[in-house]
Homo-oligomer: A and B are copies of this chain.
Amino acid sequence: MKYLGCAYYPEYWGLDRVPVDAALMKAASVNVVRIGEFAWARMEPEDGRFDLDWLHRTVEILDAHGINVLMCTPTATPPAWLTCSHLESRFMRADGRRLEHGTRRHYCYTSEIYRHFTRRIVEKLASEFSRHSNVVGWQIDNEPDFIETGFCYCENCQQAFQAWLKKRYGTLPELNRCWGTGFWCTDYSAWDQVRLAPPGLAPARVFDTRRFANAQMSDFLLMQADILKRLHPKSVVSTNLNGEVFTDLDFGNLFEKLDVAFKDLYFDICTMDVNSLIMDQFRSFKPGQSYWVTETGAGMCGNGRPAHKGQFNAWMWSNYAHGADAHVVFRWRTCLSGQEQNLEGMLEHSGHPGHRYQIIKEAFGDMRKLTAQLGTLPLPEAAVALIHDYDTMWGYKSANIGSQIGYERTFTEIHKQFYRRNVRVDVVSPQADLSRYSLVILPSLVMIKPEFAQRLKEFVAGGGVVLAQGQLGMRDDHNSYLSYDGPDHLQELFGLRIHGGMYLYSCVGPEETPSKPTDFKTRIGGQLDGQVVCGSASVWLGDLVGQGGKALLSVQEDLFEGQPAVVERATGKGLAVYAAAIRMDDDLTGALYEYVLNKAGVAFRRDVPLHVEIINRGPVVFAINHSGQPVELALNIRGTVLRGSFKDGKASLLPYDVVIVDTRV
């Protein structure tokens, strides 16, 4: 691991304390600190008056201790003199109220005035701090997304939205056509009638509201990236994603234009299978490149959950094994005040290096020693690609009813099928190069663009296996349903036509009301590889007819009785499989996923206990036990054990234990 570090707030603790802290950091193998993301008021105490001496001095002291700096632009928290004097720079909620000073992200990302002040501070910082050799990178803003605030609805944003729409659609009749305004009387006859949609309005309008907000925020961040790359070209420039996989900001697009994918990953917030999904996604953002974890808990996070003995270590090694190149804890010392006064740093409030300092010191020391010994390792390789499409996800989120599909849950549960079988997965966009994979999964991708369809066809022709589930190619680029059968552009590949589908949210009995919905299940059955399989589907079921495809499973009751439920078609050297059900019971899902894994020739294991990971980085094997139970594990390899207990090809893992074996020796 290249960087082991922590977030540090010299503006809070004062310059006098820096030498003491730097020495303690050094003793704990810290070689990078992240500085500055909330320090605007101390960098520029008044409009145009800068005070950066304390920051230069801090960077120098750290340098003297061999510690690098990841510098942050401070735009997530503008100073009071800015937001109180320039009210239009303040974020406005859908109800017309501006956010108070004293929170985070209370700025409007569209505001020209805010952009002016942003450009000035970023240019100032970049030009001054590029001269320090230990400033190795820049983080733009902090955790940009819309989770904390939602979208801004101020008049500047409204006008920018209208301009953005004008550029996109040209004329109002074209906008009316694309948005399908003919129902519920929503035709627009003047541009200023078209306003950002609060949630719950027409899906096309909500969808464009999301796309617009994403475009504005991305533009704001990339404006900063341009300045930083121009003034400090050798540095690593990026921004840090906080939200989980399913963000309202398109990080795929951002990271494509930035140097490294940064992730704030608090392992104690999600279940371990989701943590694994997140790490798989971050390794995939920039193919062939390691990602950085820019924040992870030093101790308990906002939720007040202490980690168990050893858990910090297991998480850190899992992060390395998945492909991380930095592991930066939040934060050096617990702050005494502020909303986060209880989020634990490495040091106690008092500055005492207590339990957490000792745990991290030991873990970092261990990591430093072992990775030096291992040398540079290749990233883990995945034979499976799971497609994550922002448009599809935002499409679902923009419609009241489609959201029952639960894109996030569907996606997560698909990934878990691989996680529990110890199969490595890349999480990639529809634009990704598919040639590296044997199996590609489409998780209810309701919008399919022709270019993507074309590449899928080539992938199958070349021997790949595709599995698509659920709503496949049924909406257009404006979140409207197609006026013809689906799957759009893919009827031939999958050998079928989709007429529509049926939400199985709840059946209708005479005693039932929608206030207490329960899943309605429909039986599905047939044969897979000669084995009879049978189970139930819920949530949604496609209404389809075969057209060249072969039905493997079919519906066994009620309205769709006798219709195909899983269809496959072989083309060229490959195979396309479509499952009409979006959620099936475990046995059925497992059988289907093992069927396509076998067809694609991808190895998997059934005997690894849940939440135990075995990950290869080239010749080195990492076995990590995230469970609270001891585990005996056959690794079927020979090599030198670098950490933990390994004998006769078997690893013995205590709870939260890590075994590392180097097969080169």
Contact = CB atoms under 8 A, between A and B. Distances in A.
Interface of A: 9, 11-12, 38-42, 45-46, 74, 77-81, 84, 95-97, 100-104, 179-190, 192-193, 195, 197-198, 200-205, 267-273, 300, 302-309, 311, 334-344, 348-352, 354-355, 399-402, 404, 474, 478-485, 499-500, 502-514, 517, 520, 543, 558-560, 610-611, 626-628
Copies of chain A in the complex: 3
Contacts of A334: 481, 500
Given A183-B337, A348-B485, 13 more contacts: A40-B185, A46-B189, A84-B193, A100-B195, A201-B339, A302-B400, A305-B507, A305-B512, A336-B482, A337-B479, A337-B481, A342-B399, A352-B485
A352 B499 CA distance: 7
Nearest to A500: B348
14 contacts: A38-B184, A41-B189, A42-B187, A45-B189, A81-B193, A102-B197, A180-B338, A183-B335, A202-B338, A305-B503, A339-B400, A342-B402, A349-B483, A350-B483
Contact of A187 (B45, B336, B341): B45
Contacts of A201: 100, 102-103, 339
B271 A513 contact: yes
A565 to B, nearest CB: 15
A337 B507 contact: no
Contact of A508 (B181, B268, B342, B478): B268
A513 B97 CA distance: 32
A184 B104 contact: yes
Given A202-B102, A350-B500, A354-B543, A481 B341 contact: yes
Contacts of A195: 100-101
Contacts of A188: 80
Contacts of A478: 337
A80 B187 contact: yes
A180 B79 contact: no
A572 to B, nearest CB: 29
Contact of A79 (B103, B187, B404, B543): B187
B339 A200 contact: yes
A9 to B, nearest CB: 6
Contacts of A355: 543, 559-560
Contacts of A482: 336, 349-350
A343 B303 CA distance: 40
Given A79-B189, A189-B80, A499-B350, A305 B520 contact: yes
